[in-house]
Amino acid sequence: MIAAKALRLALLAAGTAGGLSGAAYGLLNGQAGHARRVIGPPAAAPLRADGVHLPNGTGPVPRADLPAGTRPLEFAVLGDSSAAGLGVDFPADLPGVRMARGLADELDRPVALRTHAVVGTTSQELSDQVQDALRNPPDLVLIIIGANDVTSKLGVSTSAALLGKAVRELVVADVQVVVGTCPDLGAIRPIPQPLRSVASRWSFALARAQRREVEANDGYAVPLADLLSPEFLAKPAEFFSPDHFHPSAAGYEAAAEIVLPVMCMAVGAWQGGPLPAAPTRSEAAEARRPTSRIIAHLNRRLRRN
């Protein structure tokens, strides 16, 4: 796994910034090696189910099968292995497919999915995906990025600025952009303590910086770490795939439930009304109540628009 393999580079940066002693760095470096061995490399490439998805939950179907004059919503997914859906066994469980079918149902309109996400991508490579997407500009883009940035020597401010640049390029091209910010790597159990705490702090710092950049460039940010970390911590066997690093089908479903309303708002599917309250989830999530905060934030933005 690229992210686990590069983790000791992040530790070197953390040690430089935080003044870790040689003994402390040695401990963390040893733990990073243990995590790499446990997680291992990907067993296979992510599945693909690009094409047109219909409001009845079927697809992909050829565009030629659509009724004459029907224009699907053009939807592209950019980012890393979590955006690509690494970890699921069936195409219907891919995050892009879940989002496309959810959008099709909400809009009562076909949605054409194109996946540009690549396993191992950092924000430095995101520009290439943006250029690929803009060859045939979509109406809506979902970006999930950040985990590999945490495990590289890319600084938080640099990483966030690169994401902001990508969002700006898409928005200028009249594309609506929703970003799932960096997930909490501290929820990954194969990463032992105290290394897990280091990864978690970096994850949340990057997520905050990403959110500022995304919103400054007129995109919509969904803080995945705040909203999903309690779920993944409470139910690791259910929410992680067998590699213990990427989400399972249930994990991607939980993410889709949170991201989909924001994407619908981005394309005007809520008709100017308030977003619905998110369902109560685990006791851990309810205790922190982050979902209520993000829904309130998005409702304020909706009223301003």
Residues known to be catalytic: 81, 243, 246
Evaluate whether 22 touches 11 at the Cβ level (below 8 Å): no
Q: What gap in Å lies between CA 196 and CA 35, rounded to an integer?
A: 10
Evaluate whether 178 touches 219 at the Cβ level (below 8 Å): yes
Tell me how far the alpha carbon of residue 67 is from its chain's centroid.
33
Burial environment of residue 64 by CB neighbours within 10 A (0 to 12, 13 to 18, 19 or more): exposed
